[in-house]
Structure 1
Amino acid sequence: MTHDYKNLLVTQEGPVLRVRLNTPETGNAVSGPMLDELLAVLGALDDDPGIRVLILSGEGADFCLGGDRSEFPELLAEESGGLALRALGNKARRVCDALATTEVVTIARLHGGVVGAGVGLALFCDLRAGADSCRFRLPELGLGVPPAWGGIMPRLLHEVGAAKVRELVLTASNFDAATAMELSILHTVVPEDALDAALARWTKPLVRRSPTALRTAKLMMNAYGNAHRLADATLFDAELLSSALSAAQQTRRG
C-alpha cells in the first residue's frame, strides 16, 4: 500500500494500519482531496490480507472539525445544478460505506473537536475510543443545511436511537465525551494520554483472531444491522445537501 499522501499520514505497524487526517491548519476539515485519499486507502485494504486493523485519528488539536465549507461556493459556481457538490457528497458516502463494510476492523481514535463530518467518519468505524476532553457537535441545522453528509442519519439512528438523535440534530448543541459514551457514540472514554493504551487493549486480541472468523463476524453484523432497511434513502443525501446549499447561497445573494 502506498503511504505517500498530502492530506493523510499513513503508516503500517505489522497488521495495524494507522491513518491520520493531516490538515491541522483547518482542523482536519474533510475536503474533496482528503476524501480521494481516504478512498484510495480504504479501497486497497481488502487486497492486503496482512492488514487486520485500521486506526483512524487526527493530527493536531482536533480529530475533525467537519466538512471543508470553503469548497462549497466554488463547487456551486462550477456549473448550474450543483453537480460538483453532489459528486463530493457521493464521494463522502462511499468513504463512509467503505469504513463500515471493509473486512478490516476500523477503530476511531478521537480527541479535541469532533464536529459534523468528523462525527460521521467516527460513527462508521466499528469501534470508537475518545479522550475525556472531546467535544462533539452536529451543527448542520445551524448552518442552514440538513444532516446529510455521508449517510450519517441512518447510522446515527441505528447506533444512538431516534429520540436522542432528534435532540442532537434539532438543537445542534455541544456535548462532551461522557455524554457521547452514554449515547454509544463512544465505546470507551479515557484521558487523552491513555488513548493509545486503550486502543492496544483492542488491537492486541484482534490481530490474533482467525481472519476468516473476524471477516464473517463483520459481514454478519453489517447484514443483520441493515436488515430492517427496505431501501437506502442515503442515496439522496448528496442531492439534499447540494439543494440546501444552493438555496442558502441564493438567499444570501438576495
Structure 2
Amino acid sequence: MTALTPSVTRTGTALKTVRVDRQGPVLSIELNSPDQGNTVSDAVLDDLLTVLDDQDPLIQVIVLSGAGDDFCLGGDRNEFTEHLAHDPTGSGIRNSGIKARRVCEALTGNPAVTIARVQGKAIGAGLALALACDLRVGAENATFRLPELALGLPTAWGGLLPRLLSEVGAARVRELILTGRSFGAEEALALSILQKVVPGPELDAAVTTWAKPIIRRQAAALRVTKTLLNSYTAPTRLADASALDGELMAAVLAATHHSRAQEPRRS
C-alpha cells in the first residue's frame, strides 16, 4: 500500500486515530493505533465517520486496513468500563453502539466498493468492520474470533450478527459464537468471511488486483450494481434487529455492572 500520510480529510479536518491516502479514485483508510492493536474506541468511530461522511463522490474503491501486526483486536473494553463508571445506566455504551452501526452501514452501503485488507488478528468489532466491506482479502496468518459471550457480552456490535448469518449461515455462526474459538484464514475463506487468502507480502498486490478493474467501471453502473446487490441480500435480513445493538450492549453491561456492585465484599 502507498505510505499513508498523518491524516486530515479532504476538507482539512484533523484525524487522530486513522490515516488516509487518496490515489485517484482509490481511498485508503488505515486504523492507526498499532500499539493498542487498533482497538475500536469512540475516537476511532468518530474518525471513521468523519472520513466516510466527507467522502468525495468520485471515489470508487475504499481500502480498510490496520497498521502493525493486527488488523483490529476488537472494541476498547477499558472505554466500556469508563462509560459505566460515568453513567451506570449505559448511555455512553448505547451512543457508541449507534456510532458503530453508522460506521458499518457507511461501509456496506457505500457507493464505492469497499475492500478489507486483513492481517494478524481480527477479533469481535474488528471482524465486524471487515465483514461490513464488500470484498475481504486476508493474509495466511490472519485469525478471527468472536469472544463476546466469553466476556459476558451479547454479539451486538455494528450489525455484525445479521451480516454473519447472511454471509456464513446460521449453523456455523451458532458454533463460532457459542464456542468463541479462534479460526484461521483458510477456514474463514471456506466460510465466505474472506474471499481470498494470500501470503502476507502479497496483500497489497491482491488489493490492487481487485481495485484495478473496479476503477475502470462506469461510476453510475457501479453504484447501481452495489445498490442491487445490497437490496437482493436484504430479504435474508428481514428480521434484522441490529438497530438495537447499542441498547442490548448497554443493557447487558449495565446489568452486569450493577450485579457486581451488589456482591458482598470479601475480606
Question: SS state of the match for residue 153, structure 2?
Answer: coil
Distance 2:43 2:228 in 1: 32
CA displacement 1:84-140 (0-9 Å, x = unmatched): 110011110110011000101100000011100000000000000000001110000
Q: How far is 1:3 from its partner?
A: 6.7
Distance 2:180 2:237 in 1: 26
Is there any run of 5+ residues in structure 2 with no aligned partner, and where?
1-9
After TM superposition, the score normalised by the length of structure 1 is 0.96
Q: Does residue 52 of structure 1 match 2:60? A: yes
Structure 1 stretches of 4+ with a deviation exceeding 6 A read: none
Partner of 1:121: 129
**Percent same amino acid among aligned pairs?**
53
Distance 2:239 2:53 in 1: 25
Q: Does residue 194 of structure 1 match 2:196? A: no
Distance 1:62 1:252 in 2: 33
**Counterparts of 1:1-254 in structure 2 under 5 Å?**
1=10, 2=12, 4-45=14-55, 48-253=56-261, 254=263
After TM superposition, the score normalised by the length of structure 2 is 0.92
RMSD of the TM alignment (CA)? 1.2
Question: SS state of the match for residue 20, structure 2?
Answer: strand
Residue correspondences, number: 252
Q: How far is 1:251 from its partner?
A: 3.3
Is there any run of 5+ residues in structure 1 with no aligned partner, and where?
none
Corresponding letter in the other structure for 1:165? V
Question: SS state of the match for residue 120, structure 1?
Answer: helix
Q: How far is 1:81 from its partner?
A: 1.9
Alpha-carbon contact 1:3-1:9 (below 8 Å) kept: no
Alpha-carbon contact 1:4-1:10 (below 8 Å) kept: no
Question: SS state of the match for residue 55, structure 1?
Answer: strand
Residue 130 to residue 240, structure 1, CA distance change in 2 (3 Å): same
Distance 1:252 1:236 in 2: 24
Distance 1:132 1:228 in 2: 30
